[in-house]
Amino acid sequence: MNWTVQDLSRAANVAPATVGRIEAALTARRSSLTAIRITLERAGIVFMSHRDGDGVRITAAAECVRDLVELARIAARKAKIDTAIQERLDRFLATATAMQKEWRVEDGVYVRQLKERIRIVSRMVESDTRETLEQALSYIRRLARPPR
């Protein structure tokens, strides 16, 4: 997310030293841990537990990919990308832009995550759904290009 200790401490309303203690795996008050977790979740981070270790992911990309797969299956065998898919991508990109501004996240991070998730999911779906997802990737590339 490209936040500094000061950015996170300010957003979570905790002292920078508290963030430093947490990063160093030292003790911190439960209320401070909760404040930081809530702040990160509002920024679009999901905390996950897994048998191989804990981790995080960005919610907006995962939700968008799930929607795209569903829409791609509905739109399968159509000659071009379905309007509903374009509308869903437009909504995702608008949300990503707003989140980037609000949370000072590095430009393009959410779009990169979305593209990567689409690529991963594309390997696991039927060929007609895969084609529609590839069209979605092309649409994202066109929209994400900086104006000339």
For residue 79, the model assigns a pLDDT of 55
Cβ atoms of 111 and 58 closer than 8 Å: no
Average pLDDT on 79-104 reads 75
- pLDDT tens-digit readout, 66-82: 777 777 777 665 655 67
Q: Distance between CA 33 and CA 28 in Å, rounded?
A: 7
Which pTM value belongs to this model? Answer: 0.54
Range with lowest mean pLDDT among 16-25, 49-58, 118-127? 49-58
From the list 89, 96, 106, the residue with the least C-alpha distance to 60 is 96
